[in-house]
Amino acid sequence: MRKKTQLIHGGITGDEKTGAVSVPIYQVSTYAQDGVGQHRGYEYSRTGNPTRFALEELIKELEGGHAGFAFGSGMAAITAVLMTFNQGDHVVFTDDVYGGTYRLVSNVINRFGLEASFVDTSDVENIKAAITDRTKAIYVETPTNPLLKITDLKKVSELSKENDLTFIVDNTFSTPYWQNPIDFGADIVLHSATKYLGGHSDVVAGLVVVNSQKLAEDVHFVLNSSGGILGPQDSWLLMRGIKTLGVRMEEIEDNTRQFIEFLQGLPEVTNIYYPGLEDHKGYDVHSQQARGSGGMISFDVGSGEKADRVLKNTRFFTLAESLGAVESLISVPAKMTHASIPAERRGELGITDGLVRVSIGLEDIEDLKEDFLQALRK
């Protein structure tokens, strides 16, 4: 089955009993048992729910894994994956992981004894240097936020196999439509499904896909023990969003490339970061491991003042922290997502005050161009 078909026909489709073409929303907490210990597959909805299971089967198939799990947010999914490790274990992370992941690892999970190193994983030598005899996993994002840095999935997977480590990839930016890390040797793939998978800024959710029975048991054990599950209504909403992921990603890619061409013609704009551009540092690696580059672009408008002006005056770019929606979103990382990083370190990373990040949506591209131009020149 090709990806676009799989988005519609993958997982569990409809309802066999009634012929309904959409999976029913099983708004239920518990299930009648035929005898003590004799149930029909479901006992209690924290452990398993048929609507959530349909979504879990769908994401499992889309990522080509062994089992899928749905959580109440991307952070709940990441927390559950990290809770499969033990006190004293060490994990190597991409240095510019999502800020919430950094906060979780360095202010919450650390209190339970999980140790972490943050390195630039776009160079595999940095990961090698960070591995100790207590390292149990490598956790990467590719592309990253906001500079869209690329990590070589195949090389990192080889390194993790050599060292008997679990290789975890946050695939939020690419989605399973453009990139499938398990094909390159990843063991666990996770998503903030709040972004492109849901796609309409109306649901907060997280998904995890694992590539083995052992990892499935480990993740399900934490899910059932800690309880950060996704409810049936939101599971259904997410399945509805996923059906159109293909057309949305294709159209978003098209809009994004046209918007980049437009930016390239503006003298005020420099340093356009997009992994689909040939002059992007990670272009070659990204083209080998992904079928598309998505709708996230970062670029410099020259100064913090200019960035403020753009943000204040755009009409069709909504000033908001999220990404991956039908509506275009705009943010200034130095003042929003990366404000907690000291200015000097931000400068080293290339996150200048004038760096603007946009998530291109599905509006008519001519409206987006006109709107951006009037905001920039106001």
Residues found near ligand PLP in the complex (CB under 6 A): 73-75, 98, 100, 141, 145, 170, 172, 192, 194, 204, 206
Least Å from the CB of residue 191 to ligand PLP = 8
End-to-end CA distance of the chain: 49
CB 101 within 8 A of CB 241: no
Q: Is the peptide bond before 232 cis (omega within 30 degrees of 0)?
A: no
Q: What's the min distance (Å) between Cβ of 205 and ligand PLP?
A: 7
The answer to whether residue 98 is catalytic is yes
Active-site option among 26, 52, 96, 98: 98
| Catalytic member of 3, 4, 46, 309 | 46
From 152, 170, 218, 371, active-site residue:
170
How near is the Cβ of 323 to ligand PLP at its closest, in Å? 6
**Shortest distance in whole angstroms from residue 172 CB to ligand PLP:** 4
- How distant, in Å, are the alpha carbons of 8, 14, 123 from that of 240? 9, 12, 38
We find the least distance from the C-beta atom of residue 173 to ligand PLP, in angstroms, to be: 6
Active-site annotation holds for 195: yes
Q: Which residue is nearest to ligand PLP (CB)?
A: 74
Structure token pair of residue 204: 């907060």
Min dist CB 148 to ligand PLP, Å, is 12
Instruction: Determine phi and psi for 364, rounding to 5 degrees.
Output: -65, 130
80 vs 269 by CB, closer to ligand PLP: 80
Comparison of 50 and 74: residue with beta carbon closer to ligand PLP: 74
329-331 and 318-319 as β-strands: parallel, antiparallel, unpaired?
A: parallel
- The 3 state secondary structure assigned to the chain is CCHHHHHHHCCCCCCCCCCCCCCCCCCCCECCCCECCECCCCCECCCCCHHHHHHHHHHHHHHCCCEEEEECCHHHHHHHHHCCCCCCCEEEEECCCCHHHHHHHHHHHHHHCCEEEEECCCCHHHHHHHCCCCEEEEEEECCCCCCCCCCCHHHHHHHHHHCCCEEEEECCCCHHHHCCHHHHCCCEEEEECCCCCCCCCCCCCEEEEECCHHHHHHHHHHHHHHCCECCHHHHHHHHHHHHCHHHHHHHHHHHHHHHHHHHHCCCCCEEEECCCCCCCCCHHHHHHHCCCCCCEEEEECCCHHHHHHHHHHCCCCEECCCCCCCCCEEECCCCCCCCCCCHHHHHHHCCCCCEEEEECCCCCHHHHHHHHHHHHHC
Of 75 and 260, which CB lies nearer to ligand PLP in the complex structure? 75
Q: Which is nearer to ligand PLP, 277 or 336 (CB)?
A: 336
For ligand PLP, the closer of residues 141 and 353 by Cβ is: 141
Please confirm, yes or no, whether 315 is among the known catalytic residues.
Answer: no
Nearer to ligand PLP, 58 or 80 (CB): 80
The nearest distance, CB 120 to ligand PLP, in angstroms, is: 17
Q: Which residues participate in catalysis according to the annotation?
A: 46, 98, 170, 195
